[in-house]
Amino acid sequence: MAPRPALPTTETAMAGLLDRERIIARAGFNRWLVPPAGLAVHLSIGSAYGFSVFWLPLNRAIGITET
């Protein structure tokens, strides 16, 4: 019976995760797509937080009660 291969340790798993081939973009990758995607994510998340600033004054102006 052949011996079982050793389970990968945390060090070897992290080494595989951070290999140069995994962290460097391939030749066909368009780096200009990253900033607009990041901007879209930040705007969508920030709009929820920004709207929460105006929620209470807007409710008071319209006359909505919280009951």
Q: Do the domain assignments include residue 19?
A: no
| 27-67 residue pLDDT tens | 899 999 999 999 999 999 999 888 889 888 889 899 888 76
Distances (CA, A) of 45 to 1, 38, 40, 42, 53: 56, 11, 9, 5, 14
The DSSP symbol for 33 reads G
Q: Do the domain assignments include residue 25?
A: no
- Number of domains composing the chain: 1
Parent domain of 59: 30-67
C-beta of residue 40 within 8 angstroms of C-beta of residue 34:
no
Give Rg (Cα) of the chain: 25
Q: Do the domain assignments include residue 53?
A: yes
| 5-21 residue pLDDT tens | 666 666 666 678 888 88
Q: Do the domain assignments include residue 24?
A: no
Paired tokens of 19: 């290999």
Q: Do the domain assignments include residue 1?
A: no
pTM of the model: 0.50
